[in-house]
């Protein structure tokens, strides 16, 4: 039987890193990172589950991946689907530090309909007990699964399948670092089958209103992390730097301290800066109470501050109307 064709795009990260010793799982990178074809060569077992088409991209630490790389990934995926009409899915290997941001951004902006799965590893490819190989195999299996279609971008680590909107990294070292705190995983990549148990209901690619493929940059949106004693200095700095939007990672269930709130409210009412109230708690919704309404703040629903920042940036590419931005946050 013919195997499904899956493209693997390499962007660097722990999954493609090599250390000087097989028991070195923290301080690595001197011997890598591996490009996609080199990573595939290190784990030839991937050929047992699919016809794998490795694609070199860039080998970068995930904290150096932002809009220029995201835009190029979007264009690359367009080209892959056009040049390979029999392509079953796409896997993107990625560092875990910002994997959730890339996954959510692509899930809001890609225009290809084949499944896209982001995968990383908590231990380098050279480690004695690396999770890189099995994660890669399982990501390819998920990308090749017809059941993965229509779910937006997915994330695969530790045999678990997550929705890009919900997943976050919750631990620095543990193999089970990636969790979806509010609603849990979508399914498993088990040894005998890829199995899904639920589907995301929020709108995701390719049926979205955002198309950034011709943009040179995103509108500037910053994150204000709330803490006891904050005096508005950071808020004023973001506004002075030209922020079009600010996400407040506030005290749960969604409050910004008075000094910061005063600066932000003034920016909303006098300069048209869009402020979205998120929570620093890690899970749960924020709500639009009287305080937020008086300040002119919108709410992030249950999005983390980093994902609210991405959605607000994209919203500002299509509208500056607060009612429309509020609709967008309730839609995606």
pLDDT at residue 30 tops 90:
no
Share of the chain above pLDDT 70, in %: 99
Residue 31 pLDDT greater than 70, yes or no = no
Catalytic residue among 14, 93, 168, 208: 14
**Mean pLDDT value of segment 226-254:** 97
| 3-state SS, residue 105 | helix
CA distance 202 to 159: 23
Please compute the mean of the pLDDT values over residues 166-182 and round it to a whole number.
Answer: 97
Give residue-wise pLDDT tens across range 94-108.
999 999 999 999 999
Strand-by-strand arrangement of the 160-163 sheet: 51-56, 5-10, 87-93, 116-119, 154-157, 160-163, 187-189, 194-196
Tokens 């229509």 locate to 150
The answer for residues whose C-beta is within 8 angstroms of residue 152's C-beta and 6 or more apart is: 107, 163, 164, 165, 200, 204, 205
Please say if 319 is a catalytic residue: no
Burial of 85 (0-12, 13-18, 19+ CB in 10 A): exposed
Secondary structure letter of residue 244 according to DSSP: S
Statement: residue 276 has pLDDT above 80:
yes
Given a cut of 90, whether residue 28 has pLDDT beyond it is: no
Give the span between the Cα atoms of 157 and 142, in whole angstroms: 11
CA dihedral 134, 103, 160, 187 (to 10 degrees): -130
What is the residue whose two structure tokens read 């910061």?
Answer: 260
Compute the distance between CA of residue 191 and CA of residue 182 in angstroms, rounded to an integer. Answer: 26
**Residue 86: both structure tokens together:** 């029999």
282 pLDDT above the threshold of 90 = yes
Confidence class of residue 1 from pLDDT cuts 50, 70 and 90? confident
User: Rounded mean pLDDT of 188-217?
Assistant: 97
From 111, 113, 103, 115, select the one nearest 50 (Cα to Cα).
115
When pLDDT is cut at 50, 70 and 90, the band that residue 32 belongs to is: low
221 vs 104, 145, 193, 235, 251, CA distance in Å?
A: 16, 36, 41, 12, 20
At 61-96, the pLDDT tens digits run: 999 999 999 999 999 999 999 999 999 999 999 999
In the chain, count H helices and then E strands. 9, 14
pLDDT > 90? residue 331: yes
Name all domains of the chain by residue range, CATH numbers in brackets. 5-196 (3.40.50.1170), 221-331 (3.40.50.40)
Are the CB atoms for 278 and 251 separated by under 8 Å?
Answer: no
Lowest-confidence range among 23-32, 137-146, 238-247? Answer: 23-32
Burial of 252 from C-beta contacts in 10 A (0-12 / 13-18 / 19+): middle
């Amino acid at each position: 039987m013919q195997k499904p064709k899956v493209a693997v795009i390499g962007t660097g990260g722990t999954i493609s890193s090599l250390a000087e010793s097989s028991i070195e799982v923290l301080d690595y990178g001197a011997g890598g990172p591996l490009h996609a074809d080199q990573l595939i060569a290190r784990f030839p077992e991937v050929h047992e589950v699919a016809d794998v088409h490795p694609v070199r991209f860039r080998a970068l630490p995930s904290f150096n991946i932002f809009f220029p790389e995201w835009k190029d990934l979007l264009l690359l995926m367009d080209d892959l689907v056009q040049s390979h009409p029999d392509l079953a899915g796409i896997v993107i290997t990625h560092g875990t530090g910002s994997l959730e941001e890339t996954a959510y951004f692509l899930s809001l902006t890609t225009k290809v309909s084949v499944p896209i799965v982001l995968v990383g590893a908590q231990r380098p490819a050279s480690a004695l007990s690396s999770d890189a190989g099995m994660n890669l195999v399982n990501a390819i299996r998920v990308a090749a699964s017809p059941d993965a279609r229509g779910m937006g971008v997915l994330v695969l680590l530790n045999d678990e399948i997550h929705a890009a909107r919900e997943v976050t990294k919750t631990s620095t070292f543990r193999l089970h670092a990636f969790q979806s705190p509010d609603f849990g995983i979508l399914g498993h990549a088990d040894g005998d089958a890829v199995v899904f148990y639920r589907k995301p209901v929020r709108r995701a690619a390719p049926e979205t209103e955002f198309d950034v493929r011709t943009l040179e940059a995103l509108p500037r949106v910053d994150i204000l992390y709330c803490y006891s004693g904050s005096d508005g200095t950071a808020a004023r700095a973001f506004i002075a730097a030209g922020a079009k939007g600010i996400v407040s990672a506030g005290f749960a269930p969604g409050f910004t301290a008075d000094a910061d709130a005063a600066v932000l409210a003034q920016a909303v009412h006098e300069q048209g800066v869009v402020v979205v109230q998120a929570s620093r708690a890690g899970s749960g919704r924020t709500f639009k109470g009287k305080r937020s309404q008086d300040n002119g703040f919108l709410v992030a629903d249950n999005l983390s501050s980093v994902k609210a920042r991405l959605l607000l940036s994209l919203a500002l590419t299509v509208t500056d109307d607060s009612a429309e931005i509020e609709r967008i946050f309730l839609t995606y």
